[in-house]
Chain A
Amino acid sequence: MSITPAVQFDLHRRMVRIRLFEEAAGRLAEAAKLPGFLHLYVGEEAVASGICGALNDDDHITSTHRGHGHLVAKGGDFNRMMAELMGKSTGYCKGKGGSMHISDLSLGMLGANGIVGAGSPIAVGAAFANKYRGRGQVAVAFFGDGATNIGAFHEAANMACALHLPIVFACENNEYGEFTPRDKTMAITDIVDRAAGYGMPGVIVDGMDVIAVHEAALEAVAKARAGGGPSLIEAKTYRFYNHHGVQNLGLKYRSDDEVAKWKERDPIFTLEDRMIENKVATRQRFDDIWAELRNDIETAIKFAEDSPLPTSDQVLVDVYSANGGN
Chain B
Amino acid sequence: MSTVGIIVNPNAGKDIRRLVTPATHTSDVTKVGIVRRAIVAAAESGAERILIAPDTHRLGRRAADGLDAPVEIVDEPVTGSRFDTIGAARRFWKEQVGAVIALGGDGTSRDVALGWPDAPLIAISTGTNNVYPVAVDGTSAGAAAGLVASGIVSVADVARRSKKIVVRVDDRDSSVDDVALVDLAFIDADFIGARAVRDPSTITAVVAAVATPASTGLSSIAGRIHPVDRWESGGVFVRLGAGGRRVRVPLAPGSFTTIDVAEVRPLAEGESITLSGRTILAFDGERDLAVSPDGTVTVRVESSGPLVIDVERTLVRAASALAFDHSEKDDHGH
A: residues with CB less than 8 A from B are: 1-3, 8, 188-190, 192-193, 195-196, 201-206, 209, 211-212, 214-216, 219-220, 223, 231, 233, 274, 277-278, 280
Instruction: Decide: A190 and B189 in contact? CB cutoff 8 A.
Output: no
User: In the complex, which residue of chain A has the Cβ closest to the Cβ of B189?
Assistant: A2
Report if B74 contacts A (CB, 8 A): no
Instruction: Decide: A188 and B199 in contact? CB cutoff 8 A.
Output: no
Report if B333 contacts A (CB, 8 A): no
Instruction: Decide: A193 and B27 in contact? CB cutoff 8 A.
Output: yes
Stretch at the interface among B10-18, B41-49, B204-212, B256-264: B10-18
Report if B173 contacts A (CB, 8 A): no
Q: Which residues of chain B have C-beta atoms less than 8 A from A274's C-beta?
A: 190-191
Given A195-B25, A204-B14: A215 in contact with B190 (beta carbons within 8 A): no
Q: In the bound complex, how far is the Cα of B198 from the Cα of A214, in angstroms?
A: 13
Tell me which of B18, B28, B189 contacts A193 (CB under 8 A). Answer: B28
Report if B19 contacts A (CB, 8 A): yes
Instruction: Decide: A203 and B28 in contact? CB cutoff 8 A.
Output: no
Instruction: Decide: A277 and B292 in contact? CB cutoff 8 A.
Output: yes
Q: Which residues of chain B have C-beta atoms less than 8 A from A209's C-beta?
A: 192-194
Given A3-B193, A195-B25: A219 in contact with B16 (beta carbons within 8 A): yes
Tell me which of A189, A193, A220 contacts B19 (CB under 8 A). Answer: A220
Report if B195 contacts A (CB, 8 A): yes
Instruction: Decide: B25 and A196 in contact? CB cutoff 8 A.
Output: yes
Tell me which of A2, A188, A193, A196 contacts B190 (CB under 8 A). Answer: A2
Report if B135 contacts A (CB, 8 A): no
Q: Which residues of chain A have C-beta atoms less than 8 A from B58's C-beta?
A: 189
B: residues with CB less than 8 A from A are: 10-11, 14-20, 25, 27-29, 56-58, 189-195, 198-199, 202, 290, 292
Q: In the bound complex, how far is the Cα of B202 from the Cα of A280, in angstroms?
A: 18
User: In the complex, which residue of chain A has the Cβ closest to the Cβ of B26?
Assistant: A193
Q: Which residues of chain A have C-beta atoms less than 8 A from B194's C-beta?
A: 205-206, 209, 211-212, 215-216
Known: A212-B195, A214-B193. 7 other contacts (CB 8 A): A189-B10, A192-B25, A203-B15, A205-B194, A212-B194, A216-B194, A231-B19
Q: Which residues of chain A have C-beta atoms less than 8 A from B189's C-beta?
A: 2
Instruction: Decide: A201 and B14 in contact? CB cutoff 8 A.
Output: no
Given A203-B14, A205-B194, A278-B190: A223 in contact with B19 (beta carbons within 8 A): yes
Q: In the bound complex, how far is the Cα of B15 from the Cα of A209, in angstroms?
A: 14
Q: List 24 A-B contacts (CB under 8 A).
A: A1-B199, A190-B14, A192-B14, A193-B27, A193-B29, A202-B14, A202-B18, A203-B14, A203-B19, A204-B15, A205-B15, A209-B192, A209-B193, A211-B191, A211-B192, A212-B16, A212-B194, A215-B194, A215-B198, A216-B16, A233-B19, A274-B191, A277-B290, A280-B190
Given A2-B189, A3-B190, A211-B193: A190 in contact with B19 (beta carbons within 8 A): no
Q: In the bound complex, how far is the Cα of B199 from the Cα of A202, in angstroms?
A: 20
Q: In the bound complex, how far is the Cα of B10 from the Cα of A175, in angstroms?
A: 16
Write the nearest CB–CB distance from A245 to chain B, whole angstroms.
28
Q: Which residues of chain A have C-beta atoms less than 8 A from B14's C-beta?
A: 190, 192, 202-204
User: In the complex, which residue of chain B has the Cβ closest to the Cβ of A205?
Assistant: B194
Q: Which of B17, B56, B198 has the most CB of A within 10 A?
A: B198
Write the nearest CB–CB distance from B103 to chain A, whole angstroms.
15
Instruction: Decide: A219 and B19 in contact? CB cutoff 8 A.
Output: yes
Instruction: Decide: B27 and A203 in contact? CB cutoff 8 A.
Output: no
User: In the complex, which residue of chain B has the Cβ closest to the Cβ of A168?
Assistant: B19
User: In the complex, which residue of chain B has the Cβ closest to the Cβ of A228?
Assistant: B19
Instruction: Decide: A204 and B11 in contact? CB cutoff 8 A.
Output: yes
Given A1-B199, A188-B28: A216 in contact with B19 (beta carbons within 8 A): yes
Q: Which residues of chain B have C-beta atoms less than 8 A from A215's C-beta?
A: 16, 193-194, 198
Q: Which residues of chain A have C-beta atoms less than 8 A from B190's C-beta?
A: 2-3, 8, 274, 278, 280
Tell me which of A1, A8, A206, A231 contacts B198 (CB under 8 A). Answer: A1
User: In the complex, which residue of chain A has the Cβ closest to the Cβ of B190?
Assistant: A278
Instruction: Decide: A205 and B56 in contact? CB cutoff 8 A.
Output: no
- 8 closest pairs, A vs B, by CB? A211-B193, A189-B57, A215-B194, A212-B194, A219-B19, A193-B27, A211-B191, A201-B18
